Structures are given as C-alpha cells and as structure tokens.
Structure 1
Amino acid sequence: MATLKRQLFRIKPIPKGNDDESGLKRTIGLFPLTLIGIGGTIGTGIFFILSEAVPVAGPAVIVSFVIAAIVAGLSALCYAELAGSVPVSGSSYSYAYTTLGELPAMGVAGCLLLEYGVSTAAVAVGWSQYVNQLLGNLFGFELPHAISVSPEEGGVINLPAVVLVALCMALLIRGTSESVIVNTIMVLTKIVVLLFFAAIAFTGWNVDNFAEFAPFGFNGVMAGAGMIFFSYIGLDAIATAGEEAKNPKRNLPLAILFALVVVTTVYVLVALASLGAQPTEDFGGQKAGLSQIVENIVGASWPGTLVAAGAVISIFSVTLVVLYGQTRILFAMSRDGMAPKVFQKVNPRTMTPVANTVIVSVIVAVLAGVLPINFLAEMTSIGTLVAFIVVAVAVIVLRRREPDLERGFKVPLAIPVLAILGCLWIIKDLRPITILVFLIWTAVVLTWYCFSGRKHSVVGKRQAEAELAAEGAER
C-alpha cells in the first residue's frame, strides 16, 4: 500500500535553468506572449456569449463579467507565480506534477484536455455564424443551413468550423514562429474592431435598457458568470508556451498580467456598450449579435460587415492559440510517459510536433462539426475552473515545499485561497449534467492512468533506476 501511494503521488523534479531537452525552440518574446493570451481569450466569448448570458442574467450580466474577471484574475495571478517558477510546457498539468504528484497531475490533464479540446471546438462553432453574416453582407448569400450548424440544431455538419480547424492545423504544422506572427496581426485587428464596435454602440445608448437591472436576481448573475467564464480560458494558454518562451521566468508572469488587464477592459467595455444599445429581450437566440447591434444603430450593413470580418479574424486567432495549447499539453504528457509517444515527436525541419497537431485537429474538427456551442461552452468552463483550483493549491504547496525557489513573480498567500473559493462558487451554479459529464470524463482519464500511464511513467522509471543503483551501492 505504501508503495502504491508513493507511485501515485511521486513528484516530477522542477527543471533548473533554461536548458532545453524538448526539441522545441525558444522563439517567443514578451509582446507575442502577451498576444497569445489575448488572442486565446478575446474571441467567440465576447462575440457570442452575450446571446447566451444576457437572457439568464439580464443587464446585470455586467456584474457577471466582473465576477468572472475577478475569479479569472485571482487564478491568473497564481498562474503568473507558477509560470515564473516552473517554466515548462504543459501549463497546470506540469505545475500539478511538480507539486502535488502524478495522480493529481493526470486529473488536471483531464481538465486541460477538456478545456482546450472542447473550447477549440466551441470557438470554431461560433465562427460559422459570423462567416454567414459576412457572406450575406458582402455577397448576398449564406451557406446552406445543412452545412453551417450542428445536427442538434437541424443541420448535418458545421462545415465552416471544420474548415477553420484545418486551416489552423496547417499553420501550426508550418512552424511556431509563423503562427505567432499571424496571431499578432489578428489580435491587433480584433482589438481595433471591438473598439470600433463600442464606439458605434455607445451612440445608440439608452439608459432605459438598464431599468430592470437584475430580473433574475443574484442566482441569474452567478449563472451568467458560469457561462462567461468560458471567455477567460485563453489566459492560461500563455503557460503552455513555457518551453518556447524567451526568458520565461520574467516574461511568462508579465505576459499573463498584461493580457488579463487588456482582456478585462475590452470585455466590460463591449458588454456595457451592447447592453446600452439593445434591449435585453433582443439578445436571446441572436446570431452574430455584435454585427446586428451596430447595423440596427446605423441603419446600414457596413458596420456589421466590419464587425463580422473582425469576428472571423478574431475567432481564427482564438482557435489557433487554443489548438496550439492543446498540442503542447499532450506533448508534455507524452514526454512524461502519460500519453502515447506519438505526441512528443518533433519534426526536425519545422521544430513542431506534427503528428500531435494532426491527431488533435481531427478530433477537434469532429467535435466542432457535430456538437452545439452551448454544451461545449459549459464543459469548457468546468474544466477550466477545476484546473484553476489545482493551480491555486499548487502555489500554496510549492511555497511550503520550496520556499527558496527562484520566482519571477510572487503573490500574497491570500490570493490562491480566494481563487479556490471563487472557482468553487461558480462551479456550484453549473448545470448538474455538466458536472456529471465532467466527473465521468475525469474517471476515464484516471482509469487510463492506472492501466497505462502509471506503468510508463518516466519519473517512475528514473526513481526505480535510482533505487536499484542505491541498493547496488549498499551491497
């Protein structure tokens, strides 16, 4: 029993220095790192989530955004400390492995696979709405219903979502540097478009839209926060670039903090402008909502066309970043023996994990093609929230175990405690079916670990070799 416990909670050593054994190349500086966080966060969430969250929370969805931002911010601060202390690929999976042990790390891996894989599919699904809006405005036609929505919504397959994933796959295979350049251009474009939207929307401001501010009470506000939290998942994408970041102990924490400030500011600004420009009852079921709002204000299609184009570019960058994060998490797991070896193979020419990227993209494309966005969004939120809880716990544990470890950034211990409480607070308001599916998925991942990962653990093999060597020396 003692041996089993030692196996389940064995800890991966914290890497020293910036030595690279992964085959990945350190090419990403502070500015592109920050844009990875912004690019992975601002996207489908703000372009789509209002049509889901406003009917639940009413104008008080502004408070929902603030609550989600506070909880995400507390968690981002915890990520910032760990990113500067453990600058490796794998995000919270790697942090859990170096602090809590192998079994908890696999539990977190399940959360991350859910968070990144499902969220990539979710943002791809949202893309098709704005593609149709853009096609309708520019050329006067839209894609047939059968190939632009999921089967549950009356279609056959969401073809634009599948195409988007394929395009991102091709770019990631080509190389990380190229992907970062494209992401930078797209992120700057989307910020300009969202500021343009807010400027137009504020001209249609009507204070009467806030007359019944919280029609569904505080429960509605919290339900909205649970949906909106999906919009903040990209912040931890920065941490997945730990082994491709320049000066990671300094740049990773700074990038996370800078991205948090920009994302929160843009979200609250756009949400406030939207609610001031349109009555609450008009949000429910609205497709390509931001485009519709500015078109109604101006009375012409050109503002909506610009916003739709911005959304198409924006959601492309989100899909690119989140797909990138998923492949790097599987890369780290594979290197540790927790996933098949195919996920750690790096192409010597492009310095990217090509087979990994193809496999992940195919699975994500299938999910995006057949599942509706509301289910995907909630599943993403719970995976993210649980991963955030583990990161906060890891900060506390690492402080106690490694008090003298070099840290590029350090938070007061009250921050991780508040982050844990905030995440639990939001989780309690998620639908029971969401929590049930999450628990089943986690059980599947842990079963994989018990029957495969535990036996192939690289850390376990090294520990066994060290014990054998020690026994030989004693003899």
Structure 2
Amino acid sequence: MPSDHSPGLSRQIGLFQATAINMSQMCGIGPFVTIPLMVAAFGGPQAVIGWIAGAVLALVDGLVWAELGASLPGSGGTYVYLREAFQYRTGRLMPFLFVWTAMLFIPLIMSTGVQGMVQYLAYLWPGITTGQGDLVGVGVMALVFLLLWGKVANIGKITVAMWAVMILSVVAVILAAFTHFHPSMAFSWPAHAVELTHGSFWLGFASGLTIGIYDYLGYNTAAYLGAEVKNPGRVLPRAIIFSILAIMGIYLLLQIGVLGVVPWHDMLDPNNVASQSVASAVMEKTLGKGAADVVTVLILVTAFASVFTGLLGGSRVPYDAARDRLFFRSFAKLHPRHGFPVAGLITMCVITTAAFLLARHVGASAAHPPLAVLITLLTTVMVIVQALAQIAAVTVLRKRQPHLARPYRMVLYPLPSVVAGIGWLVIYGYADKANPGVHPIEWSLGWVVLGLAVYLVWSRVERVWPFGAKEIREQYLVEQQAEPAAAS
C-alpha cells in the first residue's frame, strides 16, 4: 500500500484553519431542522439537555480521534486507523468494511440536507405536496450531480461562501430571538420533565442524544486531512476540542433563543410552520415576513451547498481506498477529461436520492418524520464500523505498537473511551424502541453482514486474507524509526 504521505500533499493547515474546517462541517443546516426534533424527543424546553449530552459524547469521542489522528496523521482518517490497528488479525477487512459503510452513511448525511431543503421550501411554498417535495428533492440531486460531473474549481471559495452564509443565518436568528426573548417560555420546564427513574425519560434522552451527536458530526473533519495538517500532534487535538466547544455555545444560544420566542408546543404540531421551518417562524415573529423570507433563502442556499460539498468530498472516500488497494478497483478510475472519481460520484448520488425518497415514504409518520428517520439510520450505521471500532483501535494500537510516537495521549485513559462507548451503545440500543417500524438496528446489521459477504468475494479475487497472506505493515512506526537514521 502506498504511503499516506503523498508527495503531492504538504502540511499547510494550521490550528485556525483546522478548527474552521471542523466547524464548517459541524454547523450546516442541522440546527435549523433539528430543534423541533429535539423538543419532540424530550417533550419540552428541557431539550437543552440533548445539546449538552451530544457535546459530551462529541468531546469524549473527539479524544479518541485526537489520539489516533495525532499518532497516525495520514489522509483517510478512520480507514487509516482501522488498517493499522486490525491488520494483525483480520488483514484488510476492517478498512474495507469502513469504506463499505461510508458508502451508506455519507449519502444518508447528505440526504438530511435534501430533506431540510424541502422542509424550509414549504415556508415559501405553503401548498407543496408530498409528491412535489419528492420532485424537488430529486431535482436538487440531479442539479448537484450535473454540477459535480466536471472539474470543480475554486472549491475553497465555495466552502468559505457556504460558511459565511451559514454564519449569517445563525447570527440573524440568534440576534432576532434574543431581542424578543421571553425567559418564562425558555426556562419553564413542564412538571416531572426530568425523571431519571422513568423509562420514558431515557427513551427521550437516547433520541435526543442521537439528534445531538448528528448535529456535532464534523468535529473529526480535519483528521481526514491529517497529511496536510501542520504539527498534527498539537493541532488536531486542539482543533477538535475548540470546534466542539464553539459549536456547543452556538447551539445552546440558538436553542434557548428559539424557545424564548416560539412556544414549544408549536414545534410539536405538524401543521404549524415552527415544526418544519423553525428559523423562519422566529424571524416572522420578531422581524416580519420579509426578514423570514430572506433567512429562509439563506438556509436553502446553505443546505444546497452542504450537499454539494459533502458529495464532492464523499465521492473521494472509495476512490482513496481503491487507490490504496483496500476497495474495488473500479472506484479508483478517474474521469479521463475532468479527473473526478466516476464510480464514487454516481454511487453516492444514487444512494442519497434513494435514501431521501425512502425516508419520506417508508417508516415516516407524524411521530417519526423523514428527517428523524434518516438521522437515526445514519448514526446507527456509523456505530459498529466507525465509532466502536475506533474506540477499540486506541487500545489495540497501544498494545500492538507501544513504541509508536503519540504526541497526544488521551487524558484519563481509558475513561473517555469507556464513556464514548457507553454513549454510542445507548444510541444503538434504543434505536429500534425510539423508531418503531423503522428497524434501524436490523438495517445496520444487515448492511454489515452484506459487507462481510462482499468482502469475501473481493478478497478472493484480490487474493488477500483470508484467501491470501496478511500484509503486516506498521507504516507509521517504521517511518518513525527511520527518521533518526535519515537524520544521521
């Protein structure tokens, strides 16, 4: 396998840039569409508990990413960590399964952006039907596909523009909310809002934790660019922690501000605009319909841009793995003229479109809206092959490669790993109960089992374990040991 330290990559991303990259991925359309879902999960303004719980899980899981990213600072993130940790017993199985799973959870994340667009479009188009919403979503995906079917230039400028529009939208809603803020609405919790001995509270907590961690996803983005980060042992851990704390502050201000303007009961009424377009409802109540229309358009732009950039980056995941001989060779082929990965782009656009349509018609209901279904499915799929596997990878690598340089070592190890593992298991264990009729656990297990079957076919063709010898290659440990000799 070729080195992750490609000669075409240089370490130019500093702490500020890495933190901004993380934050730009964490805060897209997510908070604008999940506030009503969080209120519904907890049954009142105590929904702030969900944002705090999500931040805690993000922080402890972020420490897992911090140790792995600092000690294995290559391009690829998770698949590099799983490749290095699990090569001793299962060869290329774990990185293959990660890419296989990413082929599903990345499109699921992008489909939430498409669903968010349809929800907010309903504010500008009040009479939109389910069928018309389906056509809009498919049309959005067709446009994204056409725009990506070519050489995409100035992606950095597009990302900065998206970030600016998102920040403008968030700041506008927060300022509008706190200029018309009513503390009694935001802080008057219903009787028995928090009953730790009651099963319904923990069911709501698990649903809220799922929504919360979905909104924080992206704190690991800079780790995927590890080969381009300056001084990764110092920068990556700080970028992860700083971005989580900053986004937590933004989310709490947004959640509390919205609850101080819009009655939380309105967010539970599927016929009320606050349940679908809560930011638009805040702007209309505070600054009028014109301001609400403007912010709605900005949110639509943010959602479209997040889907566009997400699929642009996501389509490269199977390409990078295939180029490293860890996935199907067909995904390593580039367009002969424009140089983009054809198979990855087509596959992810198709899965995104299918996920959007299926969530709107299979398992979705007033109790489980399409967005909630998509969020549950994507987080459940991630748990086994990414979240829990990485937690295990920290311990495996400490035992298998004890002399590997670790510029950052997890504080209070292994406590953060244990807490993160418990958090992810809570999300996974309650997934079916919180979404009756959707069966997210069964879907996730089915996808992994299918991936195992596909891996057996692929490994036989490629003649790798279990149909060939294991390739034990402690890349980073070897490079570390070679540095003193090179220096002398």
Fold equivalence (TM over 0.5): yes
Q: Distance in 2 between matches of 1:415 and 1:64?
A: 19
CA contact (8 A) 2:141 2:349 kept: no
Residues 246-257 of structure 1: matches in 2 within 5 Å? 251-257=235-241
Equivalent residue in structure 2 for 1:382, among 371, 380, 383: 380
Deviation of 1:158 (Å): 4.0
CA contact (8 A) 1:76 1:256 kept: yes
Identify the residue that residue 426 of structure 1 maps to in structure 2. 427
Deviation of 1:461 (Å): 9.4
TM-score (norm 2): 0.79
Q: Distance in 1 between matches of 2:155 and 2:425?
A: 35
Quick check: 1:291 aligned with 2:280? yes
Q: 1:66 to 1:434 in 2, by over 3 A?
A: same
Q: 1:172 to 1:180 in 2, by over 3 A?
A: farther
1:311 aligns to what SS in structure 2? helix
1:277 aligns to what SS in structure 2? coil
Equivalent residue in structure 2 for 1:103, among 85, 93, 97: 93
Deviation of 1:416 (Å): 1.9
CA contact (8 A) 1:173 1:353 kept: no
Q: Distance in 1 between matches of 2:383 and 2:357?
A: 25
Q: Distance in 2 between matches of 1:375 and 1:259?
A: 27
Quick check: 1:443 aligned with 2:432? no
Deviation of 1:454 (Å): 5.3
Quick check: 1:129 aligned with 2:114? no
List alignment gaps of at least 5 residues for structure 1.
1-11, 150-156, 467-475
Q: Distance in 2 between matches of 1:348 and 1:28?
A: 29
Q: What residue identity is the alignment partner of 1:341?
A: R
Q: What residue identity is the alignment partner of 1:93?
A: Y
Q: Distance in 2 between matches of 1:132 and 1:320?
A: 21
Deviation of 1:148 (Å): 4.0
Equivalent residue in structure 2 for 1:345, among 325, 329, 333: 333
Q: Distance in 1 between matches of 2:409 and 2:471?
A: 36
Q: 1:32 to 1:305 in 2, by over 3 A?
A: farther
CA contact (8 A) 1:111 1:383 kept: yes
Residues 321-400 of structure 1: matches in 2 within 5 Å? 321-346=309-334, 352-372=340-360, 373-386=371-384, 387-400=386-399
Identify the residue that residue 233 of structure 1 maps to in structure 2. 217
Q: Distance in 1 between matches of 2:240 and 2:24?
A: 12
> Alignment identity in percent?
23
CA contact (8 A) 2:55 2:212 kept: no
Alignment deviations for residues 100-127 of structure 1 (CA, whole Å, 9 cap, x no partner): 2333334433443332121111222111
Identify the residue that residue 8 of structure 1 maps to in structure 2. none
Q: What residue identity is the alignment partner of 2:301?
A: I
2:154 aligns to what SS in structure 1? helix
Alignment deviations for residues 49-70 of structure 1 (CA, whole Å, 9 cap, x no partner): 1222212202121011111111
Q: What residue identity is the alignment partner of 1:393?
A: A
Equivalent residue in structure 2 for 1:120, among 100, 106, 110: 110
Identify the residue that residue 478 of structure 2 maps to in structure 1. none
Q: What residue identity is the alignment partner of 1:371?
A: A
Q: Distance in 1 between matches of 2:66 and 2:350?
A: 32
Q: Distance in 1 between matches of 2:264 and 2:460?
A: 52
Equivalent residue in structure 2 for 1:49, among 15, 22, 34: 34
Q: 1:165 to 1:292 in 2, by over 3 A?
A: farther
Residues 183-332 of structure 1: matches in 2 within 5 Å? 183-209=159-185, 210-213=187-190, 214=193, 217-243=201-227, 251-284=235-268, 285=270, 286-298=275-287, 300-332=288-320
Q: Distance in 1 between matches of 2:150 and 2:24?
A: 19
Q: 1:345 to 1:261 in 2, by over 3 A?
A: farther
Q: What residue identity is the alignment partner of 1:116?
A: I
CA contact (8 A) 1:89 1:329 kept: no
Alignment deviations for residues 9-64 of structure 1 (CA, whole Å, 9 cap, x no partner): xxx89x57x334xxx75587345543332222212320111222212202121011
Q: 1:78 to 1:172 in 2, by over 3 A?
A: farther
Q: What residue identity is the alignment partner of 2:208?
A: G
Q: What residue identity is the alignment partner of 1:418?
A: V
List alignment gaps of at least 5 residues for structure 2.
195-199, 361-370, 434-438, 473-488
Deviation of 1:143 (Å): 7.8
Identify the residue that residue 20 of structure 2 maps to in structure 1. 35
Q: 1:316 to 1:361 in 2, by over 3 A?
A: same
